Chain A
Amino acid sequence: MKKTLLKTTAILAGLGMTASAVSAQEIRFQCYSDGNECEVYDDLLSRFEAENDGVDVIVDIVPYQAILENLPVQLAAGTGPDLAKVTDLGGLNEYYLDLTPHVDATYWEDSFGETLNWYRVGDRQGIYGMHSQLTITGPFVNATLFEQAGVDMPGAGATWDDWAAASKAVVEATDADFPMAMDRSGHRVAGPAISYGAAYFDADGVGSFDGFEAFAEAFVGWNEDGTMARDVWASQGGSTYADAAQEFINGEVAFYYSGSWQVGRMDEQVGDFFDWQVVGSPCGPAGACSGMPGGAGIVGFEGTEHPEIVAAIIDFLAAEENYAEAAARTKNLPAHLGVASAGVEFQDASPAAQAALNGFAGALPDVSPIAFAYQGYAGNRAMFGITVERLSQAIVGELSVADAMERAASDLEAALAETQ
């Protein structure tokens, strides 16, 4: 009798497990965080799960490097996740799930406007991604160092040269180590390069380094004369990313060029150590005072077995109230026009962080149209990498600036030929 009962229980348990395995629709979301984004999405998506019985969204938190290097290989091999948070917006277009049949296209066009184009390539002109995190590059300034040095901060419309001179004066008068620092990233130099005259596209709209040399000359010069923290660009090889946030947080840098995604980190780690603020991107000889827009978006992939559910998840996150909540909790600038126009009250943000985020948002009108086009260009990842590699070689003296630019042009030509 006992044996029969055990057998029956085992069979029933087995059947139950099989049934639940069949009914549960497991969706895998590959996510990376600059701060607490994945945590917040996990929380929001638990509400989605509650509203959609049988859907189980698993948020796989991975390092940013995995999104850059592993995800494209996984997608090409057909073993990618159902959805992911990506930054190579146009570059992965061939794998994107078109959300158009599953969502209210008018709402999406009205809410996300121009950023939808960043995910479109060639004749694939559908709705592919929700831009979850709008970023813009710009400078953080250590106001305390300027005050201690008795140096006035250059005002609106100041040039890169003005800021370089002022930052140098600050370092001379204080015990800070570096006047300026810039992240080792092709994306970061793009805004300043445009301000110096980089066109980034030729007459046919193909990627190009025409006009980049003026900025390259200036940037290499700043690294040589100690205006820029040489460690950031020279102590790495390849196209490896490196930032100077820690140096800024340690109070070693007067002027640090990075972007809006660093606000949370600054707010958390600088604390009362010193006063910091965000100023607009300096102007260059070409007349522009441009930063570089960017950010990350959530996309679904065509390889998913559950396209309707993946689209529903992204649509859920794109709903105005959910998007606003995520922006407020993650301290990110919203790309959702409705949320942006209503204004976001960033959760637990100090007055400095709130002012910084407003400062970045206020700099958006100064962003050059070239920068917007460059951000949406499918070949921009290749161009970012080439910029970093060749500029670094010029900085350490392996190549002259002219040779570095010549190499950059031929690298780009080869890269574009391979991706035809």
Chain B
Amino acid sequence: MLQVISPIMRVIEIPMLALQRMLGINKLAWVFLFPNLLLFGLFAFLPVILNVVYATTGGDNVLLADRPYVGPRNFATLIDCSNYLDPNSCREDKFWRAVWNTSWFVTLQVGMMVAFSLLTAVILNGEIRARGFFRSVFFFPVLLSPVVVALIWKWILQREGVLNAFLDWTGIGGFNWLVDAQWAFGWSVFISVWAHMGFYTLILLAGLQAIPRDVYDAATMDRASPWRTFRRITLPLLAPTMLVVLVLALIKGVQTFDEIYAFTGGGPGTATTFIIQYIYEEGFAGAPRLFGLAAAASLLVALVLILLTLVQLWANRKNANG
């Protein structure tokens, strides 16, 4: 192998040495970073700048040259509220409905996600029969496309769906799940947890398996109860992994769109309209296409996601420093 690589390295060395002599050893780092920076600039930094430009311009034209500068007007429209707890008092009530729906959704979904993932991971980490099979079962929904997940559950929950057929058969009688706002919201949370739980379970399972066995052996010798072992050993040692899961689930929860959009379309009314759907509808689905308002809303979401990421970084650093 070395025999193959060495001649190549010798050939590359000649221009690199020349470049190093020309730029100096410190500046050479930029040469290596340039391809990555170029891609990052094109596909991450430039879109952010464009987003800011769209957010500060108005009209329904997609071409920037045809869009008049409006300053912070789009942001002002979004935050114009006499009472932030009551979307009806806001100028852009649909935005605030989406904000509140997203907040409730994230709170419930992340709480349930972490709790169920932990429970499942602890069970799957134990000595149970067909452990490999159950691990696959819990991970399987993660492999499904969000639209497939939505269609499966729509098929189950619609008026003439599988669940109602079963309830009719038992004599309980069916219910129009997707027409009732509370039920539609509840099912959206459930489906989201069902679809993504496997991923977080896997992370927690890896965290559980990283806990040294001898700590548990010591607890057994001290005759600690299983609950006490879980509370005093498992949970503290799993905390860094749980934090990662929590922050990842939070970020993913705020970004929820595709499966719920395909499942309920955001309805009934606006009961399951989340912030990303609001952005999509304002910018692309409605008429006129309010790119400015959509861009302003997406920047506000970006701000929230940046804050969540900073929290994760801070917590990771805190954990690392003990």
A contacts, CB < 8 Å to B: 69, 72-73, 76-77, 88, 91, 230-231, 234-240, 381-382, 384-385, 389, 392-393, 395-399, 403, 407, 410, 415, 418-419
Contacts and interface: CB of A to CB of B under 8 A. Distances in A.
A319 B286 CA distance: 35
A393 B284 contact: no
Contacts of A385: 286-287
Contacts of A238: 265-267, 273, 277, 281, 285-286
Contacts of B286: 238-239, 382, 385
B271 A382 contact: no
Q: Which A-B residue pairs are the 9 nearest by beta carbons?
A: A237-B266, A237-B267, A396-B269, A381-B287, A76-B62, A236-B265, A396-B268, A398-B269, A234-B268
A73 B62 CA distance: 7
Contact of B267 (A72, A236, A384, A410): A236
A410 to B, nearest CB: 8
Nearest to A223: B179
B269 A392 contact: yes
Contacts of B265: 235-238, 240
Nearest to A399: B88
A393 B60 contact: no
Contacts of A240: 265-267
Given A239-B286, A384-B287, 4 more contacts: A69-B284, A237-B270, A382-B287, A392-B267
B159 interface: yes
Contacts of B88: 399, 403
Contacts, number: 102
A412 to B, nearest CB: 11
Interface string B74-112: 000000000000001001011001000000000000000
Contact of B93 (A91, A236, A396, A407): A407
B176 interface: yes
B38 interface: no
B135 interface: no
Contacts of B269: 234, 237, 392-393, 395-398
A395 B270 CA distance: 11
A235 B273 contact: no
Contacts of A73: 62, 284, 289
A237 B179 contact: no
B61 interface: yes
Contacts of A418: 58-60, 288, 290
Interface SS of chain B: helix, strand, loop or mixed?
loop
Contacts of B272: 237
Contacts of A230: 176, 179
A234 B271 CA distance: 10
B287 A88 contact: yes
Nearest to B58: A418
B204 interface: no
Contact of A231 (B58, B176, B284, B290): B176
Given A385-B287, A396-B269, A77 B62 contact: yes
Which of B176, B184, B268 has the largest count of A CB atoms less than 10 A from its CB?
B268
A382 B267 contact: no
A236 B264 contact: yes
29 contacts: A72-B289, A73-B284, A76-B61, A231-B178, A234-B267, A234-B269, A235-B178, A236-B265, A236-B266, A237-B264, A237-B266, A237-B267, A237-B271, A238-B265, A238-B277, A239-B285, A240-B266, A381-B287, A382-B286, A385-B286, A385-B287, A392-B267, A393-B269, A396-B181, A396-B271, A407-B93, A418-B58, A418-B288, A419-B59
Contacts of B179: 230-231, 234-235
B2 interface: no
A232 B41 CA distance: 46
Contacts of A407: 93
A415 B184 CA distance: 30
B63 interface: yes
Which among B88, B286, B289 has the greatest number of chain A C-beta atoms within 10 A? B286
Nearest to B77: A414
A101 to B, nearest CB: 26
Given A77-B63, A419-B59, A237 B273 contact: yes
Contacts of B94: 389
Contacts of A72: 289
A83 to B, nearest CB: 21
A398 B270 contact: yes
Nearest to A381: B287
Contacts of B159: 231
A392 B266 CA distance: 11
A410 B184 CA distance: 28
Contacts of B58: 418
B260 to A, nearest CB: 9
Contacts of B61: 76
Nearest to B178: A235
A419 B288 contact: yes
A292 B104 CA distance: 41
Nearest to A395: B269
Nearest to B70: A418
B63 to A, nearest CB: 6
Contacts of A236: 264-268
Nearest to B290: A418
A89 to B, nearest CB: 13
Nearest to B177: A235
A88 B184 CA distance: 32
A403 B159 CA distance: 30
Nearest to B292: A418
A384 B93 CA distance: 19
Most buried by A among B61, B267, B269, B277: B269
B196 to A, nearest CB: 22
A237 B288 contact: no
Interface in B177-228: 178-179, 181, 184
Contacts of A384: 287
B12 to A, nearest CB: 37
Given A76-B61, A234-B268, A393-B270, A415 B284 contact: no
A5 B159 CA distance: 71
Contacts of A398: 97, 181, 269-271
